[in-house]
């Protein structure tokens, strides 16, 4: 019997590059030849398939191990601490990430019969921002056809959107299909918080106007606080701080040594406060951390 996972791993290894490589629009291959330390990162809405190795993720107080034979669904931009814990130069970690667009899910829902789903209407009725489920043979078959397109570039414009749509459909039929439906519905709690998150990320250097965010999410201030923490596992203030520090880290890679200017560019008024919070988040001062990342 044909094993799609074996061919997937072989194709991924053939096209692997250090750390990551965009194979196709919306499709990225992540590779690690050695275990990695726990590192804070931002997971954007996506499907993620581990083909080989194990990645450990900490979301709030939850710890998840992403293993081969499972898929991860991230439904909102969420701060995660992740580490590759099982890999070697002989058997590197291999993971495929597929970016999800709300419009693509919404277009698919027009053609998919509605299914009964639980209504999420309270902060206690929690919606996990990140879920892991067993993948199916149908998903793996579609994923294999997707990565084969890397070697058939003339077929990409026509076939890639069709395969992405098929993968989304398979997720809709899974146990976490309700999360994907919430992601596409403009009136869902997840979409409301997603709009606020996008505003935060677009205005990182500005003060955090909770009243404005609550208005963007179409909620009262108290309701917004409860729902935001239920979805992201962080308060709006803590989320804002983590996003600022992640953006500062990204800018420091491009501007080595510019600690003070980067601190001010993401909204800090004090370089010393920035250095303290950066060190607490990433384990070492900004300049040293950036030098380590550039060396890696």
Q: Which domains does the chain have, with CATH numbers?
A: 4-184 (2.60.120), 186-296 (1.10.10.60)
pLDDT tens profile 8-45: 999 999 998 888 899 999 999 999 999 988 888 888 89
Which pLDDT does position 129 carry in this prediction? 78
Which H/E stretch holds residue 138? helix 137-148
Q: What share of the chain is helix, strand, coil (3-state, %, to 5)?
A: 50, 20, 30
pLDDT at residue 57 above 70?
A: yes
The three-state secondary structure class of 268 is coil
pLDDT tens profile 248-292: 998 988 876 789 999 999 999 999 999 999 999 888 899 898 888
Q: For the chain, what is the mean pLDDT? A: 88
Distance, in Å, from the CA atom of 114 to the CA atom of 111, rounded to the nearest integer, reads: 9
Q: Which of 136-150, 184-198, 230-244, 256-270 has the highest mean pLDDT?
A: 136-150
Task: Please compute the mean of the pLDDT values over residues 132-154 and round it to a whole number.
Answer: 94
In sequence order, which residues have a C-beta less than 8 Å from that of residue 259 and are 6 or more positions away? 252, 271, 274, 275, 286, 287
pLDDT at residue 122 above 60?
A: no
Which pLDDT does position 5 carry in this prediction? 87
Give 127's pLDDT tier (boundaries 50, 70, 90): low
Beta bridge partners of residue 213, listed in sequence order:
none
Which pLDDT does position 250 carry in this prediction? 87
Q: Percentage of residues in the chain with pLDDT exceeding 90?
A: 57
Task: Please compute the mean of the pLDDT values over residues 147-168 and round it to a whole number.
Answer: 95
What pTM value is reported for the model? 0.80
Cα-flanking dihedrals φ and ψ of residue 162, to 5°? -65, -40
pLDDT at residue 179 above 70?
A: yes
Which pLDDT does position 266 carry in this prediction? 93
pLDDT at residue 121 above 50?
A: no
């Amino acid at each position: 019997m044909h094993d799609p996972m074996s061919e997937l791993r072989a194709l991924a290894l053939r096209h692997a590059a250090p750390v990551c490589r965009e194979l196709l629009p919306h499709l990225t291959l992540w590779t690690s030849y050695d275990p990695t330390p726990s590192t804070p990162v931002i997971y954007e809405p996506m499907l993620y398939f581990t083909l080989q190795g194990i990645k450990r993720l900490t979301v709030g107080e939850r710890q998840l191990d992403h293993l081969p034979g499972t898929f991860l669904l991230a439904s909102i931009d969420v701060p995660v601490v992740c580490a590759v814990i099982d890999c070697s130069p002989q058997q590197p970690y291999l993971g495929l990430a597929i970016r999800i667009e709300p419009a693509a899910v919404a277009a698919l829902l027009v053609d998919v019969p509605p299914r009964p789903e639980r209504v999420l209407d309270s902060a206690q009725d929690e919606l996990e921002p990140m879920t892991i489920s067993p993948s199916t043979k149908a998903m793996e078959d579609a994923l294999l056809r997707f990565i084969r397109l890397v070697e058939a570039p003339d077929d990409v414009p026509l076939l890639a959107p069709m395969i992405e749509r098929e993968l989304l459909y398979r997720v809709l039929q899974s146990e976490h299909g309700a999360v994907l439906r919430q992601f596409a519905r403009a009136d869902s709690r997840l979409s409301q918080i997603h709009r606020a998150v996008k505003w935060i990320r677009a205005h990182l250097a500005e003060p955090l106007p909770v009243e404005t965010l609550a208005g963007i999410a179409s909620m009262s201030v108290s309701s917004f606080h409860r729902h935001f923490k239920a979805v992201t596992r962080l308060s709006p203030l803590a989320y804002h701080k983590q996003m600022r520090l992640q953006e500062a880290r990204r800018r420091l890679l491009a501007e080595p040594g510019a600690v003070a200017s980067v601190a001010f560019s993401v909204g800090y008024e004090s370089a010393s406060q920035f250095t303290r919070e950066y060190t607490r988040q990433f384990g070492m001062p900004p300049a040293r951390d950036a030098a380590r990342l550039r060396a890696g």
